[in-house]
Amino acid sequence: MVSAPGLGASKERVWVAKGKQPHFHDDRSVDQLMAMVTALTAEVAILRDRLDTHERIAESRKVFSREEVDGFIPDAAIMAERSAQHQRLLRKVFRVLKEDLARHDKPADDAELERLAAEINNAA
């Protein structure tokens, strides 16, 4: 593996496997999209399982109900934490594109990542 500059903080590094990368489709961008969707799907599955566990434990101990979770309104501090979490998630999902840029010694542009994070934060 080799280290290359990544998106995000200026000191962030992306580890890229050396050698030829496997391709399953004629268009490399389809492989990249599939890797991103797979990474995102894995994250969502894990989060859903953890959320379900938390809600079941809380409800069984009568700490709070699922309805209370649905009605919760986060304050500014919570929204800031969630924004940071969204940034980490986007970096993970788009990692395959960062690796491709690093392999070709092309600089990564944070502008699109920032735009996507803002869009997600506004939708939440």
Q: Encoding tokens for residue 22?
A: 């496997």
Query: Per-residue pLDDT tens for 56-106?
Result: 999 999 999 999 999 999 999 999 999 998 888 888 877 877 777 777 776
Spell out the domain ranges in the chain.
2-123
Task: Fill in the amino acid letter for 96.
Answer: V
Look-up: residue for tokens 């010694």?
105
Q: Encoding tokens for residue 82?
A: 């969630």
Q: Is pLDDT of 31 > 50?
A: yes
What gap in Å lies between CA 102 and CA 16, rounded to an integer?
8
Contacts of residue 124, Cβ cutoff 8 Å, sequence gap at least 6: 79, 82, 86
